[in-house]
Structure 1
Amino acid sequence: AAIGGKDSMSGSFKDLDVPPTLVSFAIVPAKSGEVVSAEFKKPNSLVVLVDVPRTESLLPDLKLAKKQWAAVHRLMKQGRVLAASAVRNGGVGHTLARMSFGNRMGVALGAAPSTDFLVPKYGSIILEVESTVDLSELSYRILGKTQSNPVISWPGVSISIDELLKVNESVLEPIFPTKANEPAGEPLTFNFDTRLIHKPKIRVARPRVIIPVFPGSNCEYDTARAFNQAGAESEAIKRSQILMIPGGFSAGDEPDGSGKFIAAVLKSPVVRDATMDLLKSREGLILGICNGFQALIKTGLVPYGEIRDVDHHAPTLFYNYIGRHISRYAYTRVASVKSPWLSQMSVGQQHTIPFSHGEGRFVASPGMIDELARHGQIAFQYCDSVGQPSHKIEFNPNGSIHAVEGITSPCGRVLGKMGHSERRGRDVAKNIPGSKYQPLFEGGVDYFS
């Protein structure tokens, strides 16, 4: 066992202590379009084990392994492999379970497991392929077929995937919890269909965007690429039409809270005047994502539309209910189309968006929630797979009240949200289904045309 961090070989954690351990990693560059993820994709596919023979010393025969791997790679390049996973220390049984977890896709094995079902088979690979695929180049064994019934079964035995997943997650639950308390009651569903038809006095074909980078920012490149793809350019604030504050952990989320460093910069006289000039005089747009949303909240730009001192009546973003940082995808729904940022979306439209934060729980009084809803300022809500807002942690990862994910200023031209809409691309999170393209940046650029 190895316990430690990337800069440490102490090998200790609480009451555990192991000898200093050197762990090496091998990485190979590959075209993202040729990468195959591990989760089973659909029912009635063949599940095969591409095994690697062992030498007398019980090590993989590397000469034969290379031949097997090359044949698997050719099939992947041809798009014939639906799913693939290396068999590791848990053996074939553990690998099948992990491949089933992602889409709750079951496996019907053709026979009862052999005695080596849970024995490590380093170098071996389990593949999901269509039954018509030519596997003649491989030395393989058919294990069974995928099935829509979420169980791993063989004659006379059936094991629930949900039960296996529960056991699998319970091992580290005391150390890295996945469950937490949830807000009481059911969240309201907000729908605001009135669009902002106002356009700025000065139109531009390619609006300029300023993306300030603070110590700890880590989303500026994704953000710049998203705006460039939408047709914008980067520029200094006095010549810009859009201010975008990217995500990250500005100043290490110190002092005592996320976004305070950025908020302090925005409240400085020179920056405050320039920001309000962009918003008021030039009728520009402001966007804050994650750490940027936290800064917009702390400066009053959302929900008030101006930089001001906020009091206890203002909404805030607090520590996640689970008590730790979360990093995962979640469903969101569009709750309002008032903002120019949402001009290319419709109320009720769903997206699958990545989240990564420690303080993203939206908290506001009932009166503030009512005011935001009446003015169409609740832009996005966390929801389940059918678009229903939810307080459940599997859908609402931080426990936000009424599942609020993003809000706007009264004019709609300032938007803050927790989800990283900029983290997108053709092969980004290709193993996660759903609509991951949210035309947020395109809406902002279109406002100036």
Structure 2
Amino acid sequence: VHSLIAAKKVVSAYTPTYGGAAEAVMKMAFGNFLGFEYSADLTLDEIFGYSYGSFILELADGVECTCGAKVLGEIVAEPVLKYGGKSLCLGKTYETYAGKLEGVYPVHVKGEDEKVETIGSPSDKYTRVRTTEHFAKPRVLIPAFPGTNCEFDTAKALASAGFVPEIVVVRNLTSAAVAESVDYFAKAVKNSQVIFVPGGFSGGDEPDGSGKFITAFFRNGAIKEATNEMLKTRLGLMCGICNGFQAIIKLGLVPYGEIIDTDENAPTLTFNTIGRHQSRIVRTRIASNKSPWLAETNVGDVYNVAISHGEGRFIANDDVLKQIIANGQVATQYVDADGNPTMDIDYNPNGSVMAIEGITSPDGRVLGKMGHTERYNPGLYANVPGCYDMKIFAAAKKYFE
């Protein structure tokens, strides 16, 4: 099996579970809604019987099976499952499969057909901010809180772009350890050009919501002062992805550009409309590239990105929405297969208002987004075609050159 895959003779593969080959083939067919016709010499026991430890391989055109495996059948263009002269409509089969537990484990929510405006704010409409200091090797602080799980991916991506990343572990076993972490981080900010708050589940997303531990840390007087000074005086950059985005929006860093005391009128991120965690590849469209982080993109470009969160739904009142749209602060929107912003949960996994995935500070130097752009590496996600490299790290590096 490994040799066949290495030789690119296998298009797709699956391991049968409790439903045997029948369940495995059905799920493989759901992937792109191509049908399947079983070989006539197979028995129902062979199709539905347990086959733990085996593999189902879809071979490339012209490749013959020479490893002694049993041929299950052939892929057909018509979206049906065929056996013994009978057929099942693949669409109806999927509806039955997905709808069985819809009442307790929903896959759809209300309002998915709501129309969404396509936001477009080209860079020539705004003046992109420039730094007054230049660094060959800009330093980046990456705070790792209890529950953070993306610090190493983030550090690798930044280092590959030419930054010098430093992961700072925030220790909280004792009050003394917390004080030491605060003191070290506040001093380190003064010698850094970028703060990058990575994803994860800091503090277990407790109590009652995400990012609270991170926001408490950054609201410490010394850290707040150092962070605001880095951004406002030294014109540094800051980014928060996923859990990091949850924190910086609650701090006011997006969309306001500095750490402030937010009120009920401030935008925030809350629980997904589906009521549970979502993990998948989504498509996002560049709505504004005024941010230095997005300087290598063009408005209208569409990028695939991995998401994994339970609280990613962006919400804001009408006044805030009008302001951030007019100011070009909406960075990215979730879009469907045709590149259109949508509330369809298959593409907008959390139900964000206006399908907003990421926003920036007024000058664009602080970016917050839900998608894990830092996780991309060449060779990953080979089974989901699309462009993944948004070049946010390369763009940020050029900002300091």
TM-score under structure 2 length normalisation: 0.89
Report whether the alignment pairs 1:225 with 2:177.
Answer: no
Instruction: Quote the residue 2:7 is aligned against.
Output: 78
Contact 1:189–1:389, Cα closer than 8 Å, also in 2: yes
- Whole-angstrom CA distance in 2 between matches of 1:391 and 1:183: 5
1:183–1:401 contact (8 Å) kept in structure 2: no
CA drift at 1:155: 6.5
195-204 or 313-322, larger mean C-alpha shift: 195-204
Contact 2:198 2:244 in 1 (8 A): yes
CA distance in 2: counterparts of 1:331 and 1:448, whole angstroms: 29
Q: Shift of the alpha carbon at 1:168? A: 2.4
Q: Which residue of 2 aligns with 1:252?
A: 204
Contact 1:181–1:322 at 8 Å: present in 2 too? no
Instruction: Using the TM superposition, give the Cα deviation of residue 306 of structure 1 relative to its aligned residue in structure 2, in angstroms.
Output: 1.2
Q: Does the Cα contact within 8 Å between 1:407 and 1:415 map onto a contact in 2?
A: yes
Partner residue, 2:38: 109
By relative contact order (CA 8 Å, sep 6+), the higher-ranking structure is 2
Partner of 1:141: helix, strand, or coil? coil
Indicate the residue corresponding to 2:248 in structure 1: 296
2:335 is matched with 383
Distance 1:123 1:324 in 2: 31
Q: What is the aligned partner in structure 2 of residue 176 from structure 1? A: 105
**Which of 108, 119, 130 pairs up with 2:60?**
130
Q: Distance in 2 between matches of 1:104 and 1:183?
A: 22
| Contact 1:81–1:127 (8 Å) recurs in 2 | yes
Distance 1:104 1:308, change over 3 A: same
Distance 1:431 1:402 in 2: 29
Among 90, 93, 117, the alignment partner of 2:22 is 93
Aligned to 2:138: 207
Is the 8 Å Cα contact of residues 112 and 154 (structure 1) preserved in structure 2? no
Give, in angstroms, the shift of residue 145 of structure 1: 2.4
1:5: which partner in 2?
A: none
For residue 158 of structure 2, give the secondary structure of its aligned residue in structure 1: helix
CA contact (8 A) 1:112 1:155 kept: no
Counterpart for residue 88 of structure 2 = 159
Deviations 1:289-330 (A, max 9, x none): 111111111111111111111112211111111112222221
- Give the Cα–Cα distance (whole angstroms) in 2 for the partners of residues 89 and 260 of structure 1: 41
The one-letter code of the counterpart of 2:56 is I
- Who is 1:121 aligned against? 51
Q: Distance in 1 between matches of 2:77 and 2:64?
A: 24
Q: Distance in 1 between matches of 2:237 and 2:312?
A: 22
Letter in 1 for 2:276: R
CA distance in 1, matches of 2:62, 2:363: 58
Structure 1's unaligned 5+ residue stretches are 1-71
In the other structure, the counterpart of 1:23 is none
Q: Does the CA contact (< 8 Å) of 2:161 and 2:393 recur in 1?
A: yes
Aligned partner (choices 405, 410, 418) of residue 370 of structure 2: 418
What is the distance in 2 between the residues matched to 1:182 and 1:206? 47
Partners of 1:359 and 1:201 in 2: CA distance: 37
Counterpart of 1:342 in structure 2: which amino acid?
L
Secondary structure of 2:380 counterpart: coil
Gaps of 5+ in 2: 167-187
Corresponding position: 1:149 with 2:101: no
Kindly state the Cα deviation for residue 184 of structure 1 after the two structures are TM-superposed.
Answer: 7.4
Note the aligned Cα RMSD (angstroms).
1.9
- 2:193 match: 241
Q: CA deviation at 1:430?
A: 3.0
Equivalent position SS for 1:142: coil
Larger C-alpha radius of gyration, 1 or 2? 1
In structure 2, which of residues 140, 147, 158 is the aligned counterpart of residue 216 of structure 1?
147
Partner SS state of residue 98, structure 1: helix
Tell me, in whole angstroms, the C-alpha distance in 1 between the residues paired with 2:129 and 2:313: 32
- What fraction of aligned residue pairs are identical, expressed as a percent? 44
Distance in 1 (CA, whole Å) between partners of 2:113 and 2:65 is 54
Question: Are the structure 2 counterparts of residues 131 and 184 from structure 1 closer, same or farther at C-alpha, using a change threshold of 3 Å?
Answer: closer
Aligned to 1:333: 285
Per-residue CA deviations over 1:129-176 (Å, capped at 9, x if unaligned) read 13422433x223333322333222347433222222222233444443
C-alpha distance in structure 1 between counterparts of 2:35 and 2:239, whole Å: 43
Per the normalisation by structure 1, the TM-score is 0.79
Q: Structure 1 residue runs of 4+, over 6 Å off?
A: none
Letter of the structure 1 residue corresponding to residue 164 of structure 2: E
**Separation in 2 of the partners of 1:135 and 1:198?**
59
Query: How far apart, in 1, do the equivalents of 2:221 and 2:121 lie?
Result: 35
Q: Measure the CA separation in 2 of the matches of 1:422 and 1:135.
A: 39
**C-alpha contact (below 8 Å) 1:81/1:129 kept by paired residues:** yes
